[in-house]
Structure 1
């Protein structure tokens, strides 16, 4: 019966295989990165899993070998009880340290790529506030902004093939700014100026959200992402200016955050 059940599960799994499924397996369930920096994060993710699986196979193999090779037989005497094995214990101490050093060095390398302080092509001040997002874009010496409210999800527009730096700010509590398609997120903390940068590889649409439980309406902190051409990006910024969404400085909370709509008094109670 168990063999029949296992065969059935295998058939179902094979029936579900496709090119997309193969890609998911190759990426080890990580989304297909939409940015140059995301490719480095994906490589780090894959390398960590491969190293962990190799280590696991070696350890499991040694365990099963020892269980089988040194099992007690009916006519055997009790084997010699060894208290320690100095070479083996040294190996078990040194090898994990080497693994940690290698993992740490690759993590720092990828972190430096994502948090690179080189001058970006664009800088956007991202403000997380209870419970929506505001995106501030420098334009013609001014600041143009796009923000959401309780009735509307805001849209973050980015130019393709250009490096954009996100300056993360919040006037209230801890949020977390993340875009799954970019395989990157970072906390947005009061009084702390966090940042990271991305370089989108192709035109397309993505989804983003807050990854930190930030209050009762945390689930509303969604936003859309549109990667467009430079010409479309310039037209978008001009449209914000013509719509009157202009300020001298980036909007970080304040009156705009206090004017959130869509949460009825009865719902808030």
Structure 2
């Protein structure tokens, strides 16, 4: 009875402290210090909360495992320490079946649990919308980006990051206005078809908490709904050559009217058509020696 009372008196204050600490957490702390979360604002995309929950819950489980492991290490060191007057070796045990079963079953449960929850969330994130509101074709290239707005038959492009005049030699900044720009309407289902013109790249909008490879000769897909207007940084997350660090772009999530105005601006500026596969640097299909690119768009506009 005494031990139960002692445990209760220890558990209640600890639980109270944990609840109090969590109640005072900011949005950044509650989401594991991941980028993209702001006070009293929705997540950047419809998948961001899912990614955050998987991240935070995984760390909670791992921290619990760590605490148990540390307690066992300290307890073993204290309980089985050599006492004054003791000589020789302690009693040697060849095996301990309960402990060995415990050390086998618990890691197996953890691995299966992490796999199950990751596979579940990944299936949700990777599910394609059969009728997206906006379909965009994104090409990664050394060391910039092309964006084709397929539904509107317009495109945008840009150059790799250029050091700004006040930071030349310091590596502290680039000219943001020269970076490729991807504009997305808020609260609309977006499908981005990811392709590469030369080597493997990776499409990563940091605040979206998700990235995906762009592989030559293969089309990958990313489907999501942006849920908060704003300007977000994008970059290549796959080492792709000398100027990989300058392969940047900007994402703007805007209202539907602003999106339509942007598309009309591209049309007025003459950026109509599509920058297609015929601009790829890998011009030979593997194995056949052909110099033609399958699926190239002969109507692409330079």
**TM-score, normalised via structure 2 length:** 0.73
Instruction: For 1:9-158, list aligned pairs within 5 A.
Output: 22-31=26-35, 32=37, 33-76=43-86, 78-119=89-130, 120-140=132-152, 143-150=153-160, 152-158=178-184
Helix, strand or coil at the partner of 1:196: strand
Question: Structure with the greater relative contact order (CA < 8 A, sep ≥ 6): 1 or 2?
Answer: 1
Structure with bigger strand share is: 1
TM-score, normalising length: structure 1: 0.81
Please report the RMSD computed on the Cα atoms of aligned residues, expressed in angstroms: 2.1
Residue 188 (structure 1) aligned to one of 214, 225, 245: 214
- Give the conservation status (yes or no) of the 8 Å contact 2:232–2:251: yes
- Give the superposition deviation at 1:225: 0.8
* C-alpha contact 2:158 2:180 (8 A) present in aligned 1: yes
Listed as ranges, the gaps of 5+ residues in structure 2 are 1-23, 38-42, 163-177, 282-302
Q: Aligned residue for 2:294?
A: none
Report the number of matched residues: 235
For the Cα contact (< 8 Å) 2:185–2:255, is it kept in 1? Answer: yes
Partner of 1:209: 235
Judged with a 3 Å threshold, the aligned counterparts in structure 2 of structure 1 residues 121 and 179 are, in CA distance, closer, same or farther, namely: same
Q: Is the Cα–Cα contact under 8 Å of residues 205 and 211 in structure 2 kept in the other structure?
A: yes
Whether the 8 Å CA contact 2:186–2:227 is kept in 1: the answer is: yes
Deviations for 1:17-49, whole angstroms, at most 9, x for unmatched residues? Answer: xxx984333222211251111110111110111
Q: Residues 227 and 72 of structure 1: is their aligned pair in 2 closer, same or farther, counting only changes over 3 Å?
A: same
